[in-house]
Chain A
Amino acid sequence: MERIVRGRGVAASWYGIARTATIDRAGAWVEIDDGGTAKVVTGVTEIGEGILTVLAQIAAEELGIKPEQVTIGDNDTARAPEAAHAGATRQTYMIGNSVALASRDARTKLDREIADHWNVKPEDIRAFDGEIWAEGSNLRMSMEEAVDICKKRGVVPVGSGSFTAHGTGLDPVDGSGSPWQAYVFGCQVAEVEVDTVTGEVQVLGMWAAHDIGRVINPRGVEGQIEGGIVQGLGQALMEDYRLENGHTTTHGFAKYILPTSLDIPEITSILVEDHDPRSPLGAKGIGEPALVPTAPAILNAIHDATGVRIRSLPATPEKILAALAEKRARDGVREAAE
């Protein structure tokens, strides 16, 4: 065997969106505000994934304004409606849909007033990017004016939304049940290089295809996939929280090894859109699913490159060297027997 060997591996995966085996819910309030801006209030948002921007995009699209005109007030149990928690790949699906519903509710109120003002049918009202108009006419004005008119007519255009996902519990005996109403699927290919003298593995390329439902922000989705893959890579190759009789021996980043900029592969994301039919937006999610297939794809690639299969994570240089030595001994015995 050459010292430096390369190989490829694939792994597929699936995942459920939002809370598991239970009814999930999220609420939001929206006000179309002075100046053609908007306030959105919901109970829980950003943990870094970009949900604030996603919600601003959704509200902007539904209200007919620009994302930067949306102010999101959030994250306060005494000031905002319940949106439950930030996890379970539920933010875009649960909170995104509740903001969409609340925005539609507010728009309905605004549209009713503007339609009456113009003497057209409410269903002919359209809005985008800060402009509002009546389809099939030359009636058009800015959102700022529209809000002003609406308020002069005595109406504050506010809306609320609550979105439900209908999961069911599992049967305690056979586990049957419908834990989620939306599922996503993923598949990743890894290309690795293994140094058979040092046992070190470098992941050179990852191709990640994931069903997202409907993509709200492609760059944000890529960011989730890239981050998920690098966490998966860390688990596959280096991260290992160790305990000795209950005492950790990996209590800092000198001992607990994380992937750095030098460890990461080139990552190619392919976004597949299979719209969810059970929700207003059709979006699903990507936060957690992104890292599910990474470790097995890398470990399958290590096998492809070296012929050794590591069954226990992480695949450290020590384990790989031990497995290679074992393989050599086995192959040697076989050759001798032949």
Chain B
Amino acid sequence: MPEQVLELTVNGRKQKKIAKPGARLLDFLRDELNLTGAKEGCGAGECGTCSVFVDGKLVKSCLMPAMKADGATIETVEGLANKGELTPLQRAFHKTGASQCGYCIPGMVMAATSALRENPFADREEIKERLGGNICRCTGYQKIFEAVELARDVMNGRLPATAIDVDEKAEKYIGANVRRLDAPSKVSGSLRYAGDMTMPGMLHMQVLRSPHAHAKILSIDTSEAEALEGVECVVTHEDVPGEDGFGVFVHDQPIMARDKVRYVGEAVAAVAAEDLATARKALGLIRVEYEELPAVFDPFEAMKPGAPKIHDYADGNLTKHIPIRKGDVENGFAEADVIIEETYSTQAVEHAYLEPEAGLAYVDHDGVVTVLSPSQNITHHRHMLSKIIAKPINKVRFIMSAVGGGFGGKEDMIYQGMLALAAMKTMRPVRLVFTREESIATTAKRHPFTTRLKVGFKKDGRITAAEMEAVADGGAYGLSTEGVMRKAAILSCGPYDIANVKVDTRGIYTNNTPSGAFRTFGGMQVQFAMESHMDLAAERLGLDPFEIRYLNAMRDGAVTHTQQKLDSVSATRVMEAAEKASNWERGVPNGRGATRSDLGGPGTRKACTLGARLAEQADHRVEEEVA
């Protein structure tokens, strides 16, 4: 595909630039015009982070070839307001706290701007629909709707401008709704994330990944890739000068696979080249000879004798077992009037932060190996990398760039090591930006759990004993599995005062995508089991769900499942608050929904019915015509 000179108007200024062959409008704006407010969240038109206006129409710029924008008028988030200013909508996002990590926000601002341009009186339902193509992973959307409604009312004159710009005077700053200090940089698109940053002489990295779930590496031949013009280096495990291994607890994962691969997508080699296209091309020239090994994809299979062994040190593929024993469960079950036993399971979940992994590494003038990335744990990463590259700790520097969503998924040092090795080998800055597919296929997930739970109750609802056995699929590497097993075990049977407890959590290696840290760290999987169980018990015993929870809740001075004596316990306070706020009608949870009188009250939204708004609009139109 040839290069093409594009002439177009961007944010009110005429531009004439060459578009690289195959460039999308998003690449052109970011790479040629340095407008990095539009982000690449998925590259497939599904997340909306790259939204811009093309001839006044909201467009996902990752789907539009740059060549098609020839002669067009483009407006990006940077051009919505005069330089150094913000539009009322951007200021409303600031006011309501509508930005969190901020990565989706430029796209969200564009979509909301479009919504209000199309209909300055759009109601909440219409706003929701018009934002339906933009994903936000942090905010839960609520504050975004508030911001759009606030801006709408100020812009259409229903509210004065002070509604956005004036805050209540605080008499104390702790406890006040102080506006987010970082919001202006997020709503204006001026905040740069790692993937938005460049350095003079910067190389681009691409990673060769394993196509096999479990295979021996017989050989890696990088000579042809290294010979390709524009390739500065290829790195493999052979470039690691120190002790190769990382992980949040056990350091069982090499920077790049050595000896064998343990999951599909595991990094095997990485290329640093003058441009992305060359780096990609070079990947195809690396020859890796594999010998496939039997693989195991189910933790229960992996625990069986004779199952493929994934790590030499881990017999039975056991990553970590955490036991908890309190009282005597056998006695407890003997005292019970009712014993309920069930098995629950939860799935693997992707963090889906809108910012895919990205990093930039360089060796500075003092020989300090520096890695800039959205790492959630620069302290630990520095420790690990200093061992891996065999340098004193003050010769290793980690800078945490703006994080476009983490949720635990950016605690793992899965790519920073490759960047550091390439920077050391070339003495040039090297940048790596994951694609969405790469991010989903190769980074940690929430641990899928299978949880068997047995709980004994007296007739009045009192718990006499609880026994839980949870098995989690830890995937191919340890990452945070040990900690997740520990937290799951500690929290296991919920905020209840139980005299007899027996808990075992086990994290198991398989050849699946590794599981790692994810918001709640094992806490939600086990409590999903316990809380489902509490309702089953309430139904069997004829109790209201709140009632059975109050009856068993920990109170001040309670002794936890790990025998820690607590002082102040707010469990019943929060239950009372939720019961009151929801105006809960008491009753036995036996599928009585149809008979409830507390439904559809304040705090609920209308249910969506497909096409309803369109039908409503049609009605209005008829009314208008009649009028």
Given A13-B495, A84-B377, are A20 and B527 also a contact pair (CB < 8 Å)?
no
A237 to chain B, nearest CB (A): 11
Contact in complex: A15, B491 (CB < 8 Å): yes
List, in ascending order, chain A residues with CB within 8 A of B608's CB: 202, 262
Contact in complex: A75, B400 (CB < 8 Å): yes
B350 touches which of A7, A256, A267, A306 (Cβ 8 Å): A256
Contact in complex: B97, A220 (CB < 8 Å): yes
Contact in complex: B605, A76 (CB < 8 Å): no
Given A223-B143, A235-B346, A252-B436, are A258 and B352 also a contact pair (CB < 8 Å)?
yes
Chain A CB within 8 A of B325 CB: yes
B531 touches which of A226, A289, A296 (Cβ 8 Å): A296
A13 to chain B, nearest CB (A): 5
Contact in complex: A218, B175 (CB < 8 Å): yes
Chain B CB within 8 A of A35 CB: no
Chain B CB within 8 A of A119 CB: no
List, in ascending order, chain A residues with CB within 8 A of B599's CB: 6-8, 191
Contact in complex: A272, B577 (CB < 8 Å): yes
B342 to chain A, nearest CB (A): 6
Chain B CB within 8 A of A137 CB: no
A256 touches which of B440, B528, B577 (Cβ 8 Å): B440
Measured CA separation A222–B143 after assembly (Å): 9
List, in ascending order, chain A residues with CB within 8 A of B131's CB: 260-261
Measured CA separation A235–B545 after assembly (Å): 22
Chain A CB within 8 A of B380 CB: yes
| Smallest CB gap from B519: residue in A | A288
Measured CA separation A312–B561 after assembly (Å): 25
Contact in complex: A248, B441 (CB < 8 Å): yes
Measured CA separation A105–B178 after assembly (Å): 24
List, in ascending order, chain B residues with CB within 8 A of A312's CB: 344-347
Measured CA separation A225–B32 after assembly (Å): 40
Chain A CB within 8 A of B536 CB: yes
Given A10-B578, A241-B513, A253-B42, are A43 and B535 also a contact pair (CB < 8 Å)?
no
Secondary structure of the B side of the interface?
loop
Contact in complex: A176, B563 (CB < 8 Å): yes
Q: B140-180: which residues lie under 8 A (CB-CB) from chain A?
A: 140-145, 172-180
B400 to chain A, nearest CB (A): 4
Q: Known contacts A176-B562, A226-B140, A295-B524; can you find 13 more A-B pairs with CB under 8 A?
A: A10-B578, A12-B571, A16-B487, A16-B491, A44-B400, A60-B173, A74-B400, A87-B411, A174-B326, A185-B571, A274-B568, A303-B535, A311-B343
Contact in complex: A314, B347 (CB < 8 Å): yes
B510 to chain A, nearest CB (A): 9
Q: Name 29 A/B residue pairs within 8 A (Cβ), A-sorted.
A: A10-B549, A11-B531, A12-B495, A12-B571, A13-B494, A14-B527, A43-B378, A67-B178, A76-B400, A178-B562, A210-B574, A211-B570, A218-B177, A222-B143, A228-B140, A230-B139, A246-B214, A246-B513, A248-B513, A258-B135, A261-B129, A261-B134, A266-B604, A296-B530, A303-B591, A305-B591, A311-B344, A313-B345, A313-B346
Kindly supply a per-residue 1/0 record for chain A positions 214-251, scoring 1 wherever the CB is within 8 Å of any chain B CB and 0 otherwise. 11111110110111111110110001111101111011
List, in ascending order, chain A residues with CB within 8 A of B489's CB: 170, 175
List, in ascending order, chain B residues with CB within 8 A of A186's CB: 574
Contact in complex: A77, B178 (CB < 8 Å): no
A6 touches which of B402, B520, B534, B593 (Cβ 8 Å): B593
Kindly supply a per-residue 1/0 record for chain B positions 253-280, scoring 1 wherever the CB is within 8 Å of any chain A CB and 0 otherwise. 0000000000111000000000000000
A283 to chain B, nearest CB (A): 8
Chain B CB within 8 A of A57 CB: yes
Contact in complex: A216, B174 (CB < 8 Å): yes
Kindly supply a per-residue 1/0 record for chain B positions 6-44, scoring 1 wherever the CB is within 8 Å of any chain A CB and 0 otherwise. 000000000000000000000000000000000000101
List, in ascending order, chain B residues with CB within 8 A of A243's CB: 297, 348, 512-513
Given A13-B495, A53-B179, A256-B440, are A265 and B344 also a contact pair (CB < 8 Å)?
no
Contact in complex: A187, B575 (CB < 8 Å): yes
Given A21-B490, A177-B562, A241-B348, are A209 and B581 also a contact pair (CB < 8 Å)?
yes
The A-B contact count (CB < 8 A) is 483
List, in ascending order, chain B residues with CB within 8 A of A47's CB: 101, 374, 376, 403, 405-406, 410
A284 to chain B, nearest CB (A): 10
List, in ascending order, chain A residues with CB within 8 A of B102's CB: 48
Contact in complex: A8, B596 (CB < 8 Å): yes
Contact in complex: B175, A170 (CB < 8 Å): no
B545 touches which of A9, A60, A82, A232 (Cβ 8 Å): A9
List, in ascending order, chain A residues with CB within 8 A of B523's CB: 13, 15, 288-289, 292
List, in ascending order, chain A residues with CB within 8 A of B573's CB: 185, 211, 272, 274
Q: A1-55: which residues lie under 8 A (CB-CB) from chain B?
A: 1-2, 4-16, 20-21, 43-50, 52-53
List, in ascending order, chain A residues with CB within 8 A of B536's CB: 309
Chain A CB within 8 A of B465 CB: no
A256 to chain B, nearest CB (A): 6
| Smallest CB gap from A56: residue in B | B181
Given A211-B573, A226-B139, are A12 and B173 also a contact pair (CB < 8 Å)?
no
| Smallest CB gap from A67: residue in B | B178
A10 to chain B, nearest CB (A): 5
Given A211-B573, A247-B264, A265-B605, are A7 and B132 also a contact pair (CB < 8 Å)?
no
| Smallest CB gap from A239: residue in B | B349
Chain A CB within 8 A of B59 CB: no
Measured CA separation A50–B186 after assembly (Å): 12
Chain A CB within 8 A of B590 CB: yes
List, in ascending order, chain B residues with CB within 8 A of A223's CB: 97, 100, 138-140, 143
| Smallest CB gap from A254: residue in B | B46
Measured CA separation A274–B179 after assembly (Å): 24
Contact in complex: A270, B577 (CB < 8 Å): yes
A294 to chain B, nearest CB (A): 8
Chain A interface size, under 10 / 10 to 19 / 20 to 34 / 35 or more: 35 or more
List, in ascending order, chain A residues with CB within 8 A of B82's CB: none
B401 to chain A, nearest CB (A): 8
Binds A, one of B63-71, B391-399, B414-422, B425-433: B391-399
A209 touches which of B325, B577, B606 (Cβ 8 Å): B577
Given A227-B140, A245-B213, A252-B44, are A178 and B564 also a contact pair (CB < 8 Å)?
yes
Q: B343-379: which residues lie under 8 A (CB-CB) from chain A?
A: 343-350, 352, 368, 370, 374, 376-379
Measured CA separation A16–B145 after assembly (Å): 32
Given A16-B490, A179-B564, are A265 and B436 also a contact pair (CB < 8 Å)?
no
Measured CA separation A335–B52 after assembly (Å): 60
Chain B CB within 8 A of A300 CB: yes
Chain A CB within 8 A of B503 CB: yes
Contact in complex: A170, B490 (CB < 8 Å): yes
Given A12-B575, A207-B582, A229-B140, are A235 and B513 also a contact pair (CB < 8 Å)?
no
Chain B CB within 8 A of A61 CB: yes
Contact in complex: A52, B574 (CB < 8 Å): no
Measured CA separation A204–B494 after assembly (Å): 26
Measured CA separation A325–B396 after assembly (Å): 60
Chain B CB within 8 A of A287 CB: yes
List, in ascending order, chain B residues with CB within 8 A of A297's CB: 531
List, in ascending order, chain A residues with CB within 8 A of B50's CB: none
A143 to chain B, nearest CB (A): 14
Measured CA separation A170–B322 after assembly (Å): 9
| Smallest CB gap from A168: residue in B | B564
Contact in complex: B403, A77 (CB < 8 Å): no
B325 touches which of A174, A185, A218, A291 (Cβ 8 Å): A174
A246 touches which of B42, B512, B581 (Cβ 8 Å): B512
Contact in complex: B574, A300 (CB < 8 Å): no
Chain A CB within 8 A of B206 CB: no
Measured CA separation A58–B174 after assembly (Å): 6
Chain A CB within 8 A of B567 CB: yes
Measured CA separation A311–B347 after assembly (Å): 11
Contact in complex: A295, B528 (CB < 8 Å): yes
Chain B CB within 8 A of A85 CB: yes
Measured CA separation A272–B577 after assembly (Å): 8
Chain B CB within 8 A of A68 CB: yes
A13 touches which of B265, B344, B527 (Cβ 8 Å): B527
Chain A CB within 8 A of B615 CB: no
A268 to chain B, nearest CB (A): 5
